[in-house]
Structure 1
Amino acid sequence: MAHTFRCGLQFLGNVAAGSQASQNSIWKHAFPHLFLNCLAHEDDKVAAYGSMVLYTCLDEDKMADLLDPANLNVALGVITAYRKRSDAEWLHLIVTERFFRCPELVNKMYTSQSHADRLTLLELILSKISEKSLFTEVEMTSMRQIAEFISDCFQKECRAVLKLAAPEDSEEETITCPMNGLCVPSPSSIDTLRLTHLAGKQSKNVFTSTHSMSLGSDLTHAAVGFKAHLIRLIANLCYKNKENQDKIYQLDGIPLILDNCSIDDNNPFLNQWAIYAIRNLTEHNEKNQELIAGMQHQGLADTSLLESMGLHVEERDGRLLLKSVKKK
Structure 2
Amino acid sequence: MPPSRLSGIMMPAPIQDLEALRALTALFKEQRNRETAPRTIFQRVLDILKKSTSAVELACRDPSQVEHLASSLQLITECFRCLRNACIECSVNQNSIRNLDTIGVAVDLVLLFRELRVEQDSVLTAFRCGLQFLGNVASRNEDSQSIVWVHAFPELFMSCLNHPDKKIVAYCSMILFTSLNPERMKDLEENLNIAINVIEAHQKHPESEWPFLIITDHFLKSPELVEAMYGKLSNQERITLLDIMIAKIVGEEQLTKDDISIFLRHAELIANSFVDQSRNVLKLTSEPHTEDKEALVTIRLLDVLCEMTSNTELLGYLQVFPGLMERVIDVLRVIHEVGKDSTSIFSPSDSLKADGDIEHMTEGFKSHLIRLIGNLCYKNKENQDKVNELDGIPLILDSSNIDDNNP
TM above 0.5, one fold?
yes
- SS in structure 2 of the partner of residue 198 of structure 1: helix
Aligned counterparts, 1:41-60, within 5 A: 41-60=163-182
Give 1 or 2: higher helix fraction: 2
1:115 equivalenced with 2:268 (yes/no): no
Per-residue CA deviations over 1:158-197 (Å, capped at 9, x if unaligned) read 0122222224x86363312111333336111010000111
Q: Which amino acid aligns with 2:281?
A: V
Aligned counterparts, 1:97-246, within 5 A: 97-133=217-253, 135-167=255-287, 171=290, 173-174=292-293, 175=295, 176-177=297-298, 178-182=301-305, 183-184=318-319, 186-201=325-340, 204-211=343-350, 219=358, 221-238=360-377, 244-246=383-385
The higher radius of gyration belongs to: 2
Per-residue CA deviations over 1:117-163 (Å, capped at 9, x if unaligned) read 21221121122223454545443221110122111100111012222
Per-residue CA deviations over 1:31-78 (Å, capped at 9, x if unaligned) read 22322333223333322221111011111111122112xx21211111
- SS in structure 1 of the partner of residue 226 of structure 2: helix
Displacement, 1:234?
2.6
Matched-pair identity in %:
46
CA contact (8 A) 2:303 2:368 kept: no
Displacement, 1:116?
2.3
Structure 1 distance, partners of 2:341, 2:254, is 49
RMSD: 2.7
CA contact (8 A) 2:325 2:373 kept: no
1:96 equivalenced with 2:216 (yes/no): yes
Structure 2 portions without partners, runs of 5+:
1-122, 306-317
Aligned residues: 263
Displacement, 1:213?
5.6
Aligned counterparts, 1:263-302, within 5 A: 263-264=402-403, 267-269=405-407
- SS in structure 2 of the partner of residue 201 of structure 1: coil
Q: Which residue of 1 aligns with 2:397?
A: 258
Q: Which amino acid aligns with 2:206?
A: S
Q: Which residue of 2 aligns with 1:22?
A: 144
Give the alignment's TM-score, normalised by structure 2.
Answer: 0.58
Q: Which residue of 1 aligns with 2:125?
A: 3
Per-residue CA deviations over 1:227-251 (Å, capped at 9, x if unaligned) read 2221233344445655544442333
Q: Which amino acid aligns with 1:171?
A: T
- SS in structure 1 of the partner of residue 346 of structure 2: coil
Cα distance change of structure 1 residues 257 and 135 upon mapping to structure 2, 3 Å threshold: closer
Structure 2 distance, partners of 1:171, 1:44, is 30
CA contact (8 A) 1:23 1:56 kept: yes
| Bigger mean CA offset, 188-197 vs 56-65 | 56-65
Q: Which amino acid aligns with 1:160?
A: N
- SS in structure 1 of the partner of residue 340 of structure 2: helix
Structure 2 distance, partners of 1:117, 1:10, is 27
Structure 2 distance, partners of 1:220, 1:109, is 32
Structure 1 distance, partners of 2:179, 2:353, is 54
Cα distance change of structure 1 residues 214 and 21 upon mapping to structure 2, 3 Å threshold: closer
Q: Which residue of 2 aligns with 1:287?
A: none
- SS in structure 2 of the partner of residue 186 of structure 1: helix
Q: Which amino acid aligns with 2:194?
A: V
- SS in structure 2 of the partner of residue 41 of structure 1: coil
